[in-house]
Amino acid sequence: EAGVAQSPRYKIIEKRQSVAFWCNPISGHATLYWYQQILGQGPKLLIQFQNNGVVDDSQLPKDRFSAERLKGVDSTLKIQPAKLEDSAVYLCASSLGPGTAAYEQYFGPGTRLTVT
Amino acid sequence: GESVGLHLPTLSVQEGDNSIINCAYSNSASDYFIWYKQESGKGPQFIIDIRSNMDKRQGQRVTVLLNKTVKHLSLQIAATQPGDSAVYFCAENRGYQKVTFGIGTKLQVIP
C-alpha cells in the first residue's frame, strides 16, 4: 500500500514570499491532517479535514496560512506571506475517518521549509 | 494549561541494554496515550498506545506503563538496538482522532 506522499521535500524561500505544499493521502482515507513541526518540538496540528470539509482549524494562523481539499483527496497548504518563524517541517497525515484510532493515522515524510 | 511533556531531551543507551523514556502529562481527560518514533527525515510512526483505564500494555520489545496517580507515562524498550535510535514522542488523544504531541526525547544507541 502506498503511503502519504508530500512534495516538495525541501523548500527555501525569503520572508514575505509565498509557498505551497502538496499532499496526497493514502487511497480511501477520508481524514487528512496538516501539522507543523518546529525543530526540537512535537508536531502541532494546523488543520484537519474530513473529506473536503474542515473539522478543526483552531491553530491555523488564518491571516497567512490557508489550506484546501477541494475534491476530498489531495490537499494543498499555502503560506502567504512567509515569516522567519514559519521555518519548520510541514507534515501531512491521513486516516480512514471517524472512529479510527490514532495508530491508524499515517504520516508522510514532510516538507522542510526554510525561510531566510 | 494542558500539556504533554518529557523529562529528558536526550537519552544514551548501550546496545543490548533496556531503555526507559519518560513522559509527564497534565490532562486527566485523555482517552488514551500514544508513543511515536520519528527517525530523521521521516514522519512520526506509531509504536504503541494505552487506554486511560489501563496501567500496562506490552508489544514486541516495548512496554508502556501508565501511572495515573502521578500522571506519568513511560516507554520501555528491551534489548535496545541501533535501529531504535530516533526521537520518541508521547502524545495524548482526546476525541475525534485529535492527537496532541509532547516535546520528544532523542534516543542514542551506543554500539
| pLDDT tens profile A40-94 | 889 999 999 999 899 999 999 999 999 999 888 999 999 999 999 999 999 999 9
Average pLDDT value for residue range A2-30: 96
Cell 543490548 locates to: B16
The chain-wide mean pLDDT, for chain A, equals 93
Best of B2, B62, B97, B98 to substitute, by most chain A Cβ atoms within 10 angstroms, is B97
CB-closest option in B99, B103, B104 to A105: B99
CB-closest option in B43, B46, B97 to A109: B43
Q: What is the pLDDT of residue B27?
A: 77
CB < 8 Å to A53, chain B: none
Residues 6+ apart with CB under 8 A from A47: A33, A34, A54, A56, A57, A59, A60, A67, A77
Question: Does A21 have pLDDT greater than 50?
Answer: yes
Question: Does A20 have pLDDT greater than 60?
Answer: yes
Q: Which residue of A has its CA nearest to B3?
A: A42
Could you tell me the mean pLDDT of each successive run of 10 residues in chain B, 111 residues long?
Answer: 54 96 85 92 92 94 95 96 96 78 92 92
| Contact: B49, A102; criterion CB under 8 Å | yes
Question: Does A22 have pLDDT greater than 90?
Answer: yes
Res. A39 pLDDT band, cuts 50 70 90: confident
